[in-house]
Chain A
Amino acid sequence: MSNTMHNRLMLIIALILAAVYLFPLYWMYITALKTGSAMFATPPQFWPSDPQWQIYGDVWRSRNMGRYMVNSLVIAFGAVSLICVLGVGCAYVLARYRNVWVDIGLFLILMLQVLPASLMITPIFVGFSQIGLLASPRFAVILAIAAKSMPFFVVLVRATFMSVPQELEEAALVDGNSRIGAFWHIVLPLARNGILVSAILIFMQAFGEFVYSKSIIQAVELQPASVGLNSFMGPNTNEWNNIMAYATMYVTPILAIFVLLQRRIVSGLTSGALK
């Protein structure tokens, strides 16, 4: 009896904490629906009296958001594909062996993971401009993001491969599979979920990437939504309801994916990040 009381009390406190923590998100959704004058009312309205639903369509059209979102998707899909093609095999080998070479490889990968993008962009930009890569800026951004995020992906996927029992692969080899066959038909299907979750995490990161896109992509038609949001926010802007509507449309798909896959994402993250 007192145990259920205790549980209920804890749950209520937890809900209050979550509500306080998620207030900024709530404020984004609410501000987007306010009229220009309601936005600057004192005291602020915590529930919009006159929700402006048409703001989403207006902002989508006036800011040309479709183009920005397509560019974000192109960059995110490109980076994730490149990372998966290169990173999965690397993670598999690093999980399968335990020797000094694997330790060195892991150490190098961890070191590359920590380089701040805003510091690496200077040499990347100058180098890319010298070899002419800036002529296809979105591709250049994909290459840079792939290099930045691949180490994290390898660390996460390696943890997944470690949980695949090696006996299964050995049995497949005894049964006459080649290494490629065993990898392709046995190990990869077993690790599929972990790879998928890691790829989704990387996708979310690449979808919101800012530094590389801002520095490399000069043409407005090729810029992703993060750069579009940045140029929407001038220093003295007062269009906060429009900006929040933009942010809402940008971030809601990511939030939806996250809430749906929350359990898997959190467990994938925790199994990899500390190992």
Chain B
Amino acid sequence: MHKEFLMGNEAIALGALAAGVNLAAGYPGTPSTEVLETIAKRNPGNVYVEWSVNEKAAMEVAAGAAYTGARALVTMKQVGLNVASDPLMSLEYIGVKGGMVVLVSDDPGPISSQTEQDTRTFGMFSKVPVFDPCSVQEAYEMIQEAFEFSEKYGTPVFFRPTTRIDHGYEALEVKDPEEYHVHTYEGFVKDASRWVIFPRLSVKNHALIEKRNALLSDTFSDYPGNRILAEQEKGCRKGIASHGISFMYTLDSLRGRNARVLKVATPFPFPEKLALSFLQGLDEVLCIEELDPVIERALLHICGKYGLQVKILGKLTGDIPPSGENTMEIVNKALGAFLGQAEEKLTPAARELPEPPALPVRPPVLCAGCPHRASFYAVKQAMKGKKTIYCGDIGCYTLGNAQPLDMCDTCLCMGAGIGIAQGVGHMEPDTRCFAFVGDSTFFASGITGTVNAFYNQADMTLVVLDNSTTAMTGHQPHPGTGRTAMGQVVEKVSMEKVLKAIGLKVVETVDPLDLNAAVKTVKRVAEEPGVKAVIFRSPCIAISRPSGHSEVDQEKCIGCGKCIRELGCPALNLASDGKKTRIDTALCTGCTLCEQICPAGAISGGKKNDLLAGKGGEGHE
């Protein structure tokens, strides 16, 4: 054992390695991404690791490994689980031989996601058991136990940390590589009655699953992750039930007040026996949860089932906010209302501050020098005065929605922009429909939509923003980059060839930082009938060296403000006179876009990156 200061996701990865994981697959998505990255980085050498093309592929690859008896881990964010739900729903009926942990990170808030869906609820729906850790330390131990449970009961299991566990840091004792469990496996054994899903098998296995989950409910009542913290003084009539990071907020917030506390680490199957003994003698229980009222509903169910007169409070009664992330303030307030205020000396000093001046408004923006800015600007210029719709997608380029670019009219989920552009086009033939998709998103879920468009005679322009990486989630490789998660150099998948093979006649690749050529290309391609594509290729600034920086000749600058007003680049500021432009040389990458639009020719010094060759996107944010 040795001590390390670890991010939750790093601790989870090290826990999986300690459990002898043989294969790990996933698709990037905040807040889950660092788990797979850490497994790749800390791989003792015998683990197969891949960034899959999407979550469905990852789930299937992991299932195959688990069919052989190997231990498999698959990682994704919560909306990624929607993509992977098809194989998972059926896999639960088939079961696994080796332990298989499905890590899904939930994002209360949501801080970096489209939805506030709760994987605990997905557990109930899919009948897959769920492990819900409350701290980095617990996550490290719990993922090892999750593999044991999965293997013992022959079912995939969910492991669902939330953002504050994934991205929290703690110092903890972890195993040295020599102490890792080595998991040997038998290999795949042919047996059509076990591995081939047919209705007859499904109905038989469905009954077995229900029986097993009833058994697991009992087993989980003795699982140490689920526990009751006894009240300090006798005669306590009030209880608090919580989970995950909210349980830690509860402990910090209690400050000596008397209450019985139930911590739930396995929301499904719910530890009913443990909950029954928790409820014994209580009048009221406050459920402090994030996302869905899972514990609250389970306790209501138990009270109904056993005829208990205990009042259950929580989200359903309005005592806890129904949406959003919990904070210390929310928990302090709810506990104050439920238990009465803590003693004054223990309560945080209220700080009365007058209303501050108008705070800066800072939505996330495209980086200075980001090639996506140039791509959006080129399409905007080319389509000036025309009726258009710009369907966006998931990735850094969603930020093209911000003023002044305002180039993202819709955004739904990975790959959806391509389908939405078609639907709008079928209903509004006079609208020029554009779908913007990043390179990683194109491979993840853009290809089927494009086939659909071509087959069904849609009229649309597909714009692939190829920055040669999965940028938003921290630069993971994808099929177009020619690198794998394990650092192998492999043959790139060419998106030009894919598009041509689908049947597209017009597929043009252009450097967006060459503004003139980019605008001309878009004008020309958009006039073509049917489905056509423009590929804007220029590497993400985070994976390419800046080629110097631009400077404004203060003599020549006429202070018209066009560059600032039209581009919205964070490197463009006003000089001290409040009129002329000044460039923040620490941010500027010398992309030259502002040089190309300056009507006075006052900006120079940048260097156009004239390489069309990509090096290394997006991900599920």
A and B are interacting partners: no
- Interface on B for A, CB 8 Å cutoff? none
- Interface on A for B, CB 8 Å cutoff? none
